[in-house]
């Protein structure tokens, strides 16, 4: 089930949207102001943002710009009463993927949501066999089951997936995963490799002795 964050300060309109979206098979988390919405993005992962612009505390365009600046690429649609071209331009500049002017047709909104989610899944999923990386939400699954990875384990597995069937030199891995003096070593790398192998024993990561590691598909 796709999870949607709805930022809308009109509570009656928000209740209507939540009902329609939930009836259409989505999980919806509602926030009445921008600060509440921002806080929720730190606590949960969402598949789509539906954002009003004129809301209390942090407006929708400022909120989305902050999220984009923090490398959050979750698809976003603005729902707004604004009709002027400058606001349209500002919305897309802040990182919006789509824009609907109120009042809008609910069926059109649902079509746009599904199209955007489908495109995002296609654009951002990198798979090696049953191993798939969701680049937007920074999570990897095996056979559709999400893996419980630390940040370094995630970064390491992504690096191996990008170079599947090719040996990744240890020096490159250490440079990518650790800054100088941050504890990077052959021993530390082996610990992370072994941890990944324990989590997903079905995948084949070869140790190319003296050179590096290779994910074999």
Global confidence as pTM: 0.60
Q: Is 71 left (phi over 0), alpha (psi -120 to 50) or beta?
A: left
What is the homologous superfamily of the domain 3-124 according to CATH? Response regulator (3.40.50.2300)
pLDDT string in tens for the chain (217-residue length): 789 999 999 999 999 999 999 999 999 999 999 999 999 999 888 999 999 999 999 999 999 999 998 888 899 999 987 766 676 777 778 888 888 888 889 999 999 999 888 877 665 557 888 898 887 778 899 988 899 999 999 999 999 998 888 889 998 898 888 875 566 788 889 999 999 999 999 999 999 988 999 999 8
List the Cα angle 195/197/198 in 5-degree steps.
65
Q: What is the CATH number of domain 129-216?
A: 1.10.10.10
Q: Where are the domains of the chain?
A: 3-124, 129-216
């Amino acid at each position: 089930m796709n999870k949607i964050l709805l930022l809308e300060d009109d509570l009656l309109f928000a209740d209507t949207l939540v009902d329609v979206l939930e009836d259409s098979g989505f999980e919806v988390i509602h926030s009445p102001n921008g600060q509440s919405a921002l806080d929720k993005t730190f606590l949960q992962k969402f598949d789509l943002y539906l954002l009003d612009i004129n809301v209390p505390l942090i407006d929708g365009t400022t909120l989305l710009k902050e999220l984009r600046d923090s490398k959050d690429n979750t698809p976003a649609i603005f729902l707004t009463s604004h009709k002027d071209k400058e606001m349209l331009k500002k919305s897309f500049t802040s990182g919006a993927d789509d824009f609907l002017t109120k009042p809008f047709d609910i069926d059109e909104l649902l079509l746009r949501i599904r199209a955007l989610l489908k495109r995002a899944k296609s654009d951002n999923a990198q798979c090696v066999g049953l191993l798939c990386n969701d680049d937007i939400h920074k999570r990897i699954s095996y056979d559709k089951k999400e893996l419980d990875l630390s940040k370094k384990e995630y970064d390491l597995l992504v690096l191996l997936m990008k170079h599947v069937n090719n040996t990744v030199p240890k020096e490159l891995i250490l440079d990518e995963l650790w800054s100088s003096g941050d504890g990077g070593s052959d021993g530390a790398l082996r610990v992370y490799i072994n941890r990944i192998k324990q989590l997903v024993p079905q995948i084949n990561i070869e140790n190319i002795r003296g050179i590096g590691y290779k994910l074999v598909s």
